[in-house]
């Protein structure tokens, strides 16, 4: 008959699966009587076995929802049957039937087979039915737990696979972003190179020296990364300057620092770099009256402060020192000392004395290696 509301054929009802019970009893009459009582139920099917050997074969051949076994059997005990049932069908409740004289021995075997219940002969039909009801309820509960666990495991596997795909995608996007960021930086550096020959090499030298000074000043993480980028791009304001003859590395061109800040600030990932470029030209007197961020990395809010950030101070020293030592094939100790002497005279008025001291305490050979690595990177 079709459904008048939808005109669809009726959906056939699926009868629940009958519970599969195994009864092990060597007394044929008692075995048949037990089966007859159980078959009064409409939710189970009953299989009979009469000894341990026959029960073992049946347990290995198919699945049962509950096992009921007499304790005393011709070729062993019910404990042997239930021990095997526990191994093969761990979720199936196991019921042991025993006489009064076998009770003590049967009780000792409970732990071996994790027996659900022990019934003592003679067993009333109502007691047997109630015990089977309890066993089936336990079995359904275990089946539901297993189903939920399986579904949860499946969901966890699916989630792990989804996370793995997202991780691969994120890794790809990170590589793509890194590649495009490098391309952007190379475009900016090429623009500087077109305005002043050797600008790319000097920019990389400033970046390397600034990063090393940042490390000596105990900067870490994004603060250090921003400082290195600021060293690389500190002269980028020249690209926005009107006079093509301006030297992007002229340390007197204070307007270029503001232009560089204005050029980079719209890019969120370069905002920290923009602040460093702007602030590094601020004369240091211990209480520079600039408005800037409380941190040298990340967007942040603008708040008034008494002094320029450590990163900006390190950048200022790096720019000035690279300009003083020049593009030499080998940094000699005398040249380093002469540059440091000049920086010491400017310390306190233009530069931070603490940063100048960090640079001066670092030997010429160490700074030569910093410059050499930077120049190699610029030519690669």
CATH homologous superfamily of 19-145: Response regulator (3.40.50.2300)
pLDDT (0 to 100) of residue 298: 37
What mean pLDDT is predicted for residues 229-248? Answer: 72
pLDDT (0 to 100) of residue 112: 59
247 pLDDT above the threshold of 60: no
pLDDT (0 to 100) of residue 145: 82
As a whole-number percent, the residues of the chain with pLDDT over 90 amount to: 25
Stretch (H or E) spanning 94: strand 94-98
Three-state DSSP string of 35-71: HHHHCCCCCEEEEEECCHHHHHHHHHHCCCCEEEEEC
Q: Classify residue 18 by its DSSP letter.
A: P
Backbone phi, then psi, for 80, in 5-degree steps? -65, -40
What mean pLDDT is predicted for residues 345-351? Answer: 88
Q: What is the mean pLDDT of the chain?
A: 79
Per CATH, which fold does 195-379 belong to?
A: Hypothetical protein af1432 (1.10.3210)
In terms of average pLDDT, the best of 211-225, 232-246, 257-271 is 211-225
The CA distance from 46 to 58, in Å, is 12
245 pLDDT above the threshold of 70: no
Q: Classify residue 85 by its DSSP letter.
A: H
The CA distance from 176 to 57, in Å, is 63
Domain extents for the chain? Answer: 19-145, 195-379
What mean pLDDT is predicted for residues 176-182? Answer: 68
Pick the more confident residue, 289 or 161: 161
Q: Which residues pair with 44 in a beta bridge?
A: 19
> Helices (H), strands (E): how many in the chain?
14, 9
Encode 304-336: b = buried (16+ Cβ within 10 Å), e = exposed. eeebbbbbbbbbbbbbbbbbbbeeeeebeeebb
What mean pLDDT is predicted for residues 225-250? Answer: 73
Can you point out the beta strands (E) in 142-248? none
Backbone phi, then psi, for 351, in 5-degree steps? -120, 160
């Amino acid at each position: 008959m079709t459904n008048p509301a939808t005109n669809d054929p009726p959906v056939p009802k699926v009868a629940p699966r009958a519970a599969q019970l195994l009864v092990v009893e060597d007394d044929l009459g008692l075995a048949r009587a037990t089966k007859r009582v159980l078959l009064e139920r409409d939710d189970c099917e009953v299989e009979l076995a009469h000894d341990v050997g026959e029960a073992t074969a049946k347990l290995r051949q198919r699945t049962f929802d509950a096992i009921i076994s007499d304790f005393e059997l011709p070729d062993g005990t019910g404990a042997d049957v239930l021990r095997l049932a526990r191994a093969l069908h761990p979720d199936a409740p196991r019921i042991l039937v025993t006489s009064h004289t076998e009770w003590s021995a049967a009780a000792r075997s409970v732990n071996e087979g994790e027996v659900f219940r022990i019934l003592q002969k003679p067993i009333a039909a109502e007691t047997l039915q109630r015990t089977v009801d309890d066993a089936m309820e336990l079995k359904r509960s275990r089946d539901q737990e297993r189903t939920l666990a399986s579904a949860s495991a499946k969901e966890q596997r699916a989630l792990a696979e989804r996370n793995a795909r997202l991780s691969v995608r994120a890794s790809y996007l990170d590589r793509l972003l890194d590649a495009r960021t490098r391309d952007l930086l190379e475009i900016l550096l090429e623009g500087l190179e077109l305005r002043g020959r050797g600008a790319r090499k000097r920019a990389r030298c400033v970046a390397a020296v600034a990063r090393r000074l940042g490390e000596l000043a105990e900067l870490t993480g994004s603060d250090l990364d921003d400082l290195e980028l600021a060293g690389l791009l500190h002269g980028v304001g020249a690209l926005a300057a009107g006079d093509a003859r301006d030297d992007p590395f002229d340390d007197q061109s204070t307007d270029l620092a503001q232009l560089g800040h204005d050029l980079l600030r719209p890019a969120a990932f370069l905002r920290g770099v923009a602040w460093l470029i702007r602030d590094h030209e601020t004369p240091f007197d211990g209480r520079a009256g600039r408005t800037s961020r409380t941190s040298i990395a990340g967007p942040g809010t603008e708040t008034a402060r008494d002094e320029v950030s450590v990163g900006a101070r390190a950048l200022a020293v790096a720019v000035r020192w690279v300009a003083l030592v020049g593009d030499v094939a080998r940094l000699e100790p005398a040249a380093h000392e002469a540059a440091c002497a000049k920086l010491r005279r400017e310390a306190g008025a233009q530069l931070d004395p603490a940063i100048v001291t960090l640079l001066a305490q670092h030997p010429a050979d160490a700074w030569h290696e910093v410059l050499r690595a930077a120049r190699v990177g610029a030519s690669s």
